[in-house]
Structures are given as structure tokens and as C-alpha cells.
Amino acid sequence: MSILIKNAAILSLDNEGKFSWLEGDIFIKGDIIEKIGRKLDVKADVVIDGKDKAAIPGFVNAHTHAAMTLFRGYADDLPLDIWLNKKIWPVEAKLTPEDVYWGVKLAILEMIKGGITAYGDMYFFMDEEAEAVKEAGIRASLSVGLIAVSGDPSIKLKEAEDFVARWNGEAEGRITVMFGPHAPYTCPPDFLKEVVSAAEQYGVGIHTHLAETKKEVEDMYKLYGKSPVKVYEEAGVLNLHVLAAHCVHLTSDDIEILKNNEVFVVHNPQSNLKLGSGVAPVPEMLKKGISVALGTDGAASNNNLDIFEEMRTAALLHKGINCDPTLVTASEAVKMATLWGAEALGLKNVGRIEPGKKADIVLLDFNAPHLQPKIDNLAQIVYSAGSADVNTVIIDGKIVMKDREVLTLDEERIFKEVQKRVKRLISN
């Protein structure tokens, strides 16, 4: 199949990391962007009119727990330890594989409508999540969540290994996998070393939570006499490709360790604010050259999966608390939501609109009052645009949303299935 997008404002990124706009056409053949230019003389199976639209790389939600859409609005206004131990973990114990499948479908529906073409997830019943990803046409990096402080951790690790073997590279390459040790406070060093060994054996990376709260840091010092980052470093975790979500409470030494080990950090500003976890030192990490991506975390602690909101919050938050309007620029915020998110997931051919890259493209409708006048489209994306401005979504060369209608999912059935299951899950 071939697609020609005509007369769009195309966001491109040069080798020096500078964005620019080109008024022109994009020709997609199969799953690859084949040509970009003005008035391309090509024939295509599908032609899309890009007039008044911005063509941008698909957004990447680099850290979430998709099935937690089931608990949106269930346990609000609580600190993380109480939120997890008293509310979330007890209700998660009631989940069935089918519950996760439908919760994930709701999340994917929301993400596609918000221009997200790839996401990173850690949870359980991951075979059902992978099936949902396969059917919906989205791109995902999936990890079985590993907790070693309850039950038999060897059984869970074997489950993760089997999942990696089954799903890595499936769905025409749209599904990739990592190992998912939950956090240093739920995965002791000896278990972490086993996870590292398994990840090395399968040649995949690590998706984890790290230094999310002050309590986590205090507990690690009590147990091991060192920070969570140093616990991971000594266990060998940081020798691998690591996607580390949160990284809120870091010392200067921690930041240096993350930089030296080329760790990919995922900033989750709204979840961290809502749970009262704090504010990650993103400007300091960016200055050190650390790639910082964006994530929504789960919908139970956010409460949506909207990368536009995360971009805007990330840009405004750090300006405000540091009294410096030059921090986290619009350009950096867009990179966090696209290129750096793709890199965090280990996706080398995603995150840019250029020939040879995968055709993961979003068309934003700029024909709206809040996006006028057209002075600086990049700034408009970060400071003015929203999910409702996403008109068309192309993933892996396939149109998955056209004129706000998701073509790969049954929206009405998803709503009914989710509501039915939530009634059972949250009942006493």
C-alpha cells in the first residue's frame, strides 16, 4: 500500500537537532517514508489532503501502565505508598486476563486519538496486552512487571522470559520487549542480577521505576546504605539499555551515573505532581546530555494518557519552579515526546519524518482558533494544541485513524466492556 500526503507543513529535524518546517508532500510506500518534497510526481493508492495540517512524528508515551485505565478516578488524592498498598494492589489482585485486554484497548484508543503511535508498558497478563496491541495496529515496547518481595520470583522471571521469547518482533515488528523489574524496593540486588543475566541472554533492555519518591530513597539508604541509582549500578542493571521512569529524587552523583551509563530517563510530570512525589531535575539532566522522554504513567495516577498535556506541563513546570523561562524549550519538549521517546524504547527507525524511517506520522489540524495565527507552529504544538487537534494517525504505513475515527478499534464495545468490568473490580 502507498500513501501520499499532499501540501502539509512537515516538521523535520536536522543532524544538529534543529527543527524546521517544509511545505510539501510525503510519499509512503509500505511501512517506510520513501520521499519528501514539494509537489511530488508519484502515484499512490491513497491521497490525503494536508492543507492546513501539520505533519509531525508520532508521539511516544514512553512509560505507562495501559490497563490501569480501568482504575481511572478510583484512588485519587493519596500518596504513592498508600495509593499502591491500600488501593491499587488490592484491586489489581482481582484482575483477570480479559480485564487487562479491555483496559489496554481503552488505553490504546485514547492514545491513538491523542496522536500517540508508540508506547512503553510494564504490567501483567502481558500476552493479552500484546494481542490488543497486535489488533489495534499501534507500536509498543512491552514488559512483564517483576516483583520479587512476594510469591516465588523465579516463577515470575520465567514468565517474563517466555513472554520475551514469544513476542519480541511480533506484529510485523511493532511489538518489542524488555524485562521489567518494578523498582529497587520491590526487587532486591540478587534478583536484579538474575534479571540482568536474562536480559543479556535475550539481547533486550530493562524498563523500570527508579528514584520516584523520597521514601524510596530513604528505604534504600536504610537497607543498602546507598541511593536507588547506585543500587542499580552495583547490580549491573545500568550496563544494559535502561528506560528509567521518574528519576525524581537524584543527587548530582546519581545524575552523573545515569549520564555515564547512557540511561534513558522518562519524565512523568503530571503523575509525579498528582501523587505528590516531587519534580524531577529535568533541566539538570538535559544539560548533562541525558535523553529525557515523556510518559503519562497509568491513568489511575494522572488521570489521562495525553502527551500534549505532558509536553506543556514539562515545559511550564520547570520554568516556574526555577524562575527561568528558558528551561525546557518548546523544541526540547517536542523531542521528549517524539525522538527521545523512540530512543528510550529502543526504536531506531522511529521519531523523525525523513526518507528511510518508519511511517509513524500524525496530522494535526491547524484550522482552529487556538492555533492561529501561524507564527511558530512548534510553539503552538506545545503551548496551544491538544489531543482534539489530531486528525489523522498513520502507524507503520497504515492509516489507523482518519478524521478522528479510529479504524482498528470498536469504540462503543470497548466502553461497554470496560464499564462492566470496573463494576466488579471496585465493588467490596
The amino acid present at 379, given as its one-letter code, is A
Q: What is the pLDDT confidence band of residue 5, given thresholds at 50, 70 and 90?
A: very high
Question: At residue 428, does pLDDT exceed 80?
Answer: no
- Out of 344, 369, 390, a domain closes at 344
| Whole-number pLDDT of residue 361 | 98
Q: What are phi and psi of 351, to 5 degrees?
A: 115, -5
Residues 379 and 356 in one domain: yes
Quick one: average pLDDT of 263-272? Answer: 98
In sequence order, what are the beta bridge partners of 358?
A: 32
Give the span between the Cα atoms of 428 and 152, in whole angstroms: 28
Residue 373: cis peptide before it, omega within 30 degrees of 0: yes
Residues 196 and 338 in one domain: yes
Q: What pLDDT digit, counting tens, does each position of 29-70 carry?
A: 999 999 999 999 999 999 999 999 999 999 999 999 999 999
Q: What is the pLDDT confidence band of residue 150, given thresholds at 50, 70 and 90?
A: confident
CATH number at residue 14: 2.30.40.10
Residues 179 and 65 in one domain: yes
Residue 73 included in any domain: yes
Residues 138 and 12 in one domain: no
Place of cell 511489538: 175
- Out of 293, 318, 344, a domain closes at 344
Question: At residue 79, does pLDDT exceed 90?
Answer: no
Q: What is the pLDDT confidence band of residue 73, given thresholds at 50, 70 and 90?
A: very high
Give the span between the Cα atoms of 223 and 215, in whole angstroms: 12
Give the span between the Cα atoms of 253 and 373, in whole angstroms: 45
What average pLDDT does the chain have?
Answer: 97
Residue 411 included in any domain: no
| Whole-number pLDDT of residue 397 | 98
| Whole-number pLDDT of residue 389 | 98
| Whole-number pLDDT of residue 126 | 98
Question: At residue 171, does pLDDT exceed 70?
Answer: yes
Q: What pLDDT digit, counting tens, does each position of 283-329 carry?
A: 999 999 999 999 999 999 999 999 999 999 999 999 999 999 999 99
Give the span between the Cα atoms of 181 and 144, in whole angstroms: 8
| Whole-number pLDDT of residue 151 | 87
Q: What pLDDT digit, counting tens, does each position of 178-212 carry?
A: 999 999 999 999 999 999 999 999 999 999 999 99
Share of the chain above pLDDT 70, in %: 100
The amino acid present at 328, given as its one-letter code, is V
Residues 67 and 16 in one domain: no
| Whole-number pLDDT of residue 80 | 80
Residues 237 and 315 in one domain: yes
| Whole-number pLDDT of residue 31 | 98
Residue 262 included in any domain: yes
Residues 229 and 306 in one domain: yes
Comparing CA positions, the residue from 130, 291, 121, 283 lying closest to residue 209 is 121
Question: At residue 365, does pLDDT exceed 90?
Answer: yes
| Whole-number pLDDT of residue 213 | 95
Residue 428 included in any domain: no
Question: At residue 75, does pLDDT exceed 90?
Answer: no
Residue 181 included in any domain: yes
Give the span between the Cα atoms of 104 and 110, in whole angstroms: 10
Q: What pLDDT digit, counting tens, does each position of 229-252 carry?
A: 999 999 999 999 999 999 999 999
Residue 161 included in any domain: yes
Residues 34 and 64 in one domain: no
Residues 177 and 187 in one domain: yes
Residue 225 included in any domain: yes
Q: What is the 3-state secondary structure (H, E, C) of the chain?
A: CEEEEEEEEEEEECCCCCEEEEEEEEEEECCEEEEEECCCCCCCCEEEECCCEEEEECEEEEEECHHHHHHCCCCCCCCHHHHHHHHHHHHHCCCCHHHHHHHHHHHHHHHHHCCEEEEEEEECCHHHHHHHHHHHCCEEEEEEEECCCCCCHHHHHHHHHHHHHHHCCCCCCCEEEEEEECCCCCCCHHHHHHHHHHHHHHCCEEEEEECCCHHHHHHHHHHHCCCHHHHHHHCCHHHCCEEEEECCCCCHHHHHHHHHCCCEEEECHHHHHHCCCCCCCHHHHHHCCCCEEECCCCHHHCCCCCHHHHHHHHHHHHHHHHCCCCCCCHHHHHHHHCHHHHHHCCCCCCCCCCCCCECCEEEEECCCHHHCCCCCHHHHHHHCCCHHHEEEEEECCEEEEECCEECCCCHHHHHHHHHHHHHHHCCC
Quick one: average pLDDT of 350-363? Answer: 98
Residues 200 and 335 in one domain: yes
| Whole-number pLDDT of residue 15 | 87
Residues 281 and 366 in one domain: no
Residue 128 included in any domain: yes
Strand arrangement of the beta sheet that strand 175-181 belongs to: 59-64, 116-123, 139-146, 175-181, 205-210, 242-246, 264-267, 292-294
Question: How many domains does the chain fold into?
Answer: 2
CATH number at residue 278: 3.20.20.140
Query: Which residue range(s) make up the domain with 178?
Result: 59-344
Quick one: average pLDDT of 244-267? Answer: 98
Residue 302: cis peptide before it, omega within 30 degrees of 0: no
Residues 360 and 338 in one domain: no
